[in-house]
């Protein structure tokens, strides 16, 4: 499409942190973007308010039993937005012929099917939902290729790498020696290691640099977020596990780096604000105003770097272990981690037990060789890993 044509956008997970930021960026460019569909799991009031602002054709609510409430609200507001219910509707709106672009901002493997649907339908697919790519792996990338979709990273680190690379993907392999993903280290980087067993969900969610959903906030505290991002980078940039490194950079100013064959290092910098990678996904290959403030180099404090302490963040190593292990191990790791984080947030297990659930589930489940060949296979692998992880959670809870 020509750069000036209006983009019709489907925002999956519009009530979340990335979803709301996406609408905020689009609201600065009403002449460029129309909203075709919005989706939420349970927050009817927020979804309704977004519908009033954007007047989408469809609003999807996935948690059962809430559609009627949404329909009544829309009717009272005099809107003609059609309400669809259940997770199957996500794929319908993501692959709809009238949609140009899909923002994948659902959290977790729940976003896998609509991502695959959008990929197969050849959409501009803006991917924040890293878990979908961690679960889908090669199968996901095949759907992108076969569907002729344009996959654009929204995760700030991967957007940084993408921004450091030329548009012509065929040159990437020759150009890149390795990449360096930066990590803030989360809220517990300097906390006494011996006290990590008693941190609370609210402490874990108090990220020093970013305001995000609770799941990714806990993942940042364990650095499982970085582990998922290592796996995500493997697929987005077609790298070997050895070509992906991680460094702690507490200021979150450098969002990641590409080290070229000649050891020249390219970095992307900015204030920590998700509206920058979101705006780049929306406007690529152009640039639009994002609403983020510019870096002020005259007041910028020193930029620090340190290696990640594998004792403090034992989950990080699982990224390389699962990438080198049986295909499907990354999906098992993701499922276990989703269960473990939910159990931690619910107060069922301790913070330090998240890793033991993940490690135990990886030991318990060996993916079959054809689990990763179909969406059904991936979903059933995800389900069996969740069951194994739930069992481990119950064992840990037992006195």
Q: Which of residues 100-139 bind ligand NAD (CB under 6 A)?
A: 105-107, 110, 128-131
Separation CA 336–CA 238 (nearest Å): 25
Closest approach of Cβ 84 to Mg ion, in Å? 30
Read off the tokens for 399: 């006195």
Residues 6 or more apart whose CB falls under 8 angstroms from that of 334 comprise 109, 131, 134, 135, 228, 382
Q: How far is CA 365 from CA 220, 262, 319, 380, in A?
A: 25, 42, 16, 12
Q: Contact between 149 and ligand NAD (CB under 6 A)?
A: no
Closest approach of Cβ 210 to ligand NAD, in Å? 5
Read off the tokens for 83: 């309400």
- DSSP, collapsed to helix, strand or coil, labels residue 340 as helix
Q: Which is nearer to ligand NAD, 149 or 154 (CB)?
A: 154
Question: Could you tell which of ligand NAD, Mg ion, none binds residue 282, using a CB distance below 5 to 8 A set by kind?
Answer: none
| Site of tokens 């199968």 | 139
Question: Could you tell which of Mg ion, ligand NAD, none binds residue 17, using a CB distance below 5 to 8 A set by kind?
Answer: ligand NAD
| Site of tokens 């344009």 | 150
* Site map (CB under 6 A) of ligand NAD, residues 55-94, x = contact: -------x------------------------x-------
Separation CA 269–CA 255 (nearest Å): 6
Question: Could you tell which of ligand NAD, Mg ion, none binds residue 256, using a CB distance below 5 to 8 A set by kind?
Answer: none
User: How many residues touch ligand NAD (CB under 6 A)?
Assistant: 26
Q: What are residue 38's DSSP bridge partners?
A: 11, 59
Q: Which is nearer to ligand NAD, 130 or 249 (CB)?
A: 130
Q: Contact between 221 and ligand NAD (CB under 6 A)?
A: no
Q: Contact between 19 and ligand NAD (CB under 6 A)?
A: yes
Closest approach of Cβ 309 to ligand NAD, in Å? 23
Separation CA 339–CA 215 (nearest Å): 10
Known binding residues for Mn(2+): 155, 157, 229
Question: Do residues 9 and 32 touch, judged by C-beta distance below 8 A?
Answer: no
Closest approach of Cβ 322 to ligand NAD, in Å? 17
Helices (H) and strands (E) in the chain, counts: 16, 11
Site residues (vs ligand NAD, CB under 6 A): 13-19, 40-41, 62, 87, 105-107, 110, 128-131, 155, 210, 212-213, 215-216, 274
């Amino acid at each position: 499409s020509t750069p000036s044509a209006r983009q019709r956008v489907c925002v999956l997970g519009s009530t979340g942190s990335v979803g709301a930021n996406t609408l905020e960026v689009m609201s600065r460019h009403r002449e460029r973007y129309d909203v075709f569909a919005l989706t939420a799991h349970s927050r009817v009031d927020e979804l309704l308010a977004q519908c009033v602002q954007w007047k989408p054709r469809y609003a999807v609510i996935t948690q059962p039993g809430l559609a009627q409430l949404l329909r009544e609200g829309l009717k009272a507001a005099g809107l003609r937005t059609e309400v669809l219910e259940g997770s199957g509707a996500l794929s319908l709106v993501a692959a709809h012929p009238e949609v140009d672009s899909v923002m994948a901002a659902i959290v977790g493997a729940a976003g896998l099917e609509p991502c695959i649907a959008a990929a197969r339908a050849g959409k501009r697919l803006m991917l924040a939902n890293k878990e979908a790519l961690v679960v889908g792996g090669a199968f996901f990338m095949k759907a992108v290729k076969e569907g002729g979709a344009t996959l654009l990273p929204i995760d700030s680190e991967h957007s940084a790498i993408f921004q450091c690379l030329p548009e012509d993907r065929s040159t990437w392999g020759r150009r890149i020696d390795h990449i360096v993903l930066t990590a803030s280290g989360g809220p517990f980087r300097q906390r006494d290691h011996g006290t990590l067993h008693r941190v609370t969900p609210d402490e874990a969610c108090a990220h020093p640099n970013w305001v995000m959903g609770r799941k990714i906030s806990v993942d940042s505290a364990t650095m499982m977020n970085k582990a998922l991002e290592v796996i995500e980078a493997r697929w987005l940039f077609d790298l070997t596990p050895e070509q992906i490194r991680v460094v702690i950079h507490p200021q979150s100013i450098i969002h990641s780096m590409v080290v070229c064959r000649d050891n020249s290092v390219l970095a992307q910098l900015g204030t920590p604000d998700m509206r920058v990678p979101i705006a780049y996904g929306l406007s690529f290959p152009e640039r639009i105003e994002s609403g983020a403030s510019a870096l002020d180099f005259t007041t910028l404090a020193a930029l620090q770097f340190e290696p990640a302490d594998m004792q403090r963040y034992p989950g990080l190593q699982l990224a390389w272990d699962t990438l080198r292990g049986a295909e499907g191990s990354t999906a098992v790791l993701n499922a276990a981690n989703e269960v473990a984080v939910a159990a931690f947030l619910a107060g069922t297990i301790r913070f330090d037990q998240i890793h033991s659930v993940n490690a135990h589930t990886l030991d318990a489940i060996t993916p079959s060789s054809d689990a990763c060949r179909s969406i059904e296979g991936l979903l059933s692998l995800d389900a069996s890993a969740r069951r194994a992880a739930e069992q481990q959670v119950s064992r840990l809870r037992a006195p």
